[in-house]
């Protein structure tokens, strides 16, 4: 087979993998990627090898295989090191920052996401700025810095165009959660109402992560208003919605962590411990020892019974 034919065949396998990944046929996608990677490496086309690594890192991010995702991103970054392709560098910094965040390596995530935001600003990439500020705010929140998270979200809201109100809704949902953590239920409730209006006004482009955040914060508010049955139903809606998002496992862990702590604050210790246990189980799959320790400490403070290997942790 001639080199041009080999290149075309490898590109078709890469394209096939991306299509399969989009419909969550991950095993077949990985098989196609392995074939494409072998061909590109044989041809010495390291730029396309990098494209394969980026695509495979996305599969691993979606599946929660964070160490594998990080290894692929690191190798891809080595390939692109020293180039002037700022868009590609930004993409890799975002993905590596997300992997670090999911693994509880907040300091490293902070560095990557901060640089990603600056690159997005330089390229006047509004969507990139939105993603960068949102995930950077999550880094601060997960690291126990709610004031910095709030500031990051407020800046990020200004980058969202009027035509993407559901993205602004995701920011507002996060801000409402931060108000709840300060004990300001009225402020959180007002912001949550605005969140739903923004998302319903952009329903065709709403996105699972945006809608899931709205459901999650509403569930928290319902729990703190002693509307427990409605809260449970809304929380289940949040979980089901997050599972349809690209990084579903990460968002599910976040949801269980937030809601479990809220239930404990609402004097529903048994339910809160159950949901926090589910969060810990997912963080263990994500190799996130930082959040596992945080949850262990929170459960100990609340007097939760210790988790055992046989104890059910799923919600």
pLDDT tens by residue, 220-257: 999 999 999 999 999 999 999 999 998 999 999 999 99
State the Cα–Cα distance between residues 94 and 34, nearest whole angstrom. Answer: 24
Instruction: Note whether 61 and 247 are within 8 A (CB).
Output: yes
Q: Which CATH number fits domain 85-159: 3.40.50.300, 3.20.20.240, 1.25.40.10, 1.20.1440.80?
A: 1.25.40.10
Closest Cα partner for 13 from 37, 44, 45? 37
State the Cα–Cα distance between residues 228 and 218, nearest whole angstrom. Answer: 12
Burial of 97 (0-12, 13-18, 19+ CB in 10 A): buried
Q: Determine how many CB atoms are found less than 10 A away from the CB of residue 127.
A: 13
State the Cα–Cα distance between residues 241 and 247, nearest whole angstrom. Answer: 11
Instruction: Note whether 90 and 116 are within 8 A (CB).
Output: yes
Residue 66: per-residue pLDDT: 93
Domain boundaries, the chain: 1-82, 85-159, 160-246, 251-315
Residue 308: per-residue pLDDT: 59
* Phi, psi dihedrals of residue 266, rounded to the nearest 5°: -90, 15
* pLDDT < 70: residue spans in the chain: 1-2, 82-83, 201-206, 308-315
Instruction: Note whether 271 and 252 are within 8 A (CB).
Output: no
State the Cα–Cα distance between residues 212 and 244, nearest whole angstrom. Answer: 9
pTM assigned to the model = 0.90
Residue 161: per-residue pLDDT: 78
Q: Is 303 helix (H, G, I), strand (E, B) or coil?
A: coil
Residue 167: per-residue pLDDT: 87
Q: CB-side exposure of 134: number of CA atoms within 13 Å?
A: 22
Q: What share of the chain is helix, strand, coil (3-state, %, to 5)?
A: 80, 0, 20
Residue 310: per-residue pLDDT: 42
Residue 239: per-residue pLDDT: 97
Closest Cα partner for 146 from 190, 174, 178? 178
């Amino acid at each position: 087979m001639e080199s041009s034919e080999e290149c075309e065949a490898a590109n078709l396998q890469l394209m096939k993998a991306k299509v399969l990944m989009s419909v969550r046929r991950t095993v077949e996608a990985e098989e196609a990627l392995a074939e494409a990677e072998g061909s590109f490496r044989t041809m010495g086309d390291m730029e396309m090898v990098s494209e394969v690594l980026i695509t495979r890192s996305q599969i691993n991010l979606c599946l929660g295989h964070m160490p594998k995702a990080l290894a692929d991103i690191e190798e891809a970054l080595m390939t692109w090191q020293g180039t002037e392709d700022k868009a590609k560098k930004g993409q890799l910094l975002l993905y590596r920052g997300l992997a670090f965040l999911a693994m509880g390596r907040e300091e490293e995530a902070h560095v990557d996401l901060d640089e990603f935001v600056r690159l997005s600003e330089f390229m006047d990439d509004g969507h990139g700025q939105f993603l960068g500020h949102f995930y950077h705010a999550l880094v601060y929140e997960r690291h126990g810095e709610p004031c910095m998270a709030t500031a990051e979200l407020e800046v990020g809201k200004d980058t969202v165009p009027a035509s993407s109100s559901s993205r602004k809704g995701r920011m507002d949902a996060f801000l409402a959660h931060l108000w709840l953590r300060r004990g300001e239920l009225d402020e959180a409730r007002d912001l949550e109402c605005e969140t739903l209006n923004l998302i319903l006004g952009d329903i065709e482009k709403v996105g699972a992560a945006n809608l899931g955040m709205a459901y999650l914060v509403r569930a928290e508010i319902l729990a703190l208003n002693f509307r427990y049955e409605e809260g449970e139903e809304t929380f289940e809606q949040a979980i089901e919605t997050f599972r349809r998002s690209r990084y579903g496992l990460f968002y599910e862990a976040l949801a269980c962590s937030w809601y479990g702590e809220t239930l404990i604050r609402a004097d529903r210790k048994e339910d809160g411990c159950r949901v926090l246990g589910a969060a810990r189980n997912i963080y263990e799959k994500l190799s996130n020892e930082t959040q596992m320790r945080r949850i262990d400490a929170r459960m100990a403070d609340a007097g939760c019974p210790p988790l055992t290997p046989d104890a059910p942790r799923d919600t």
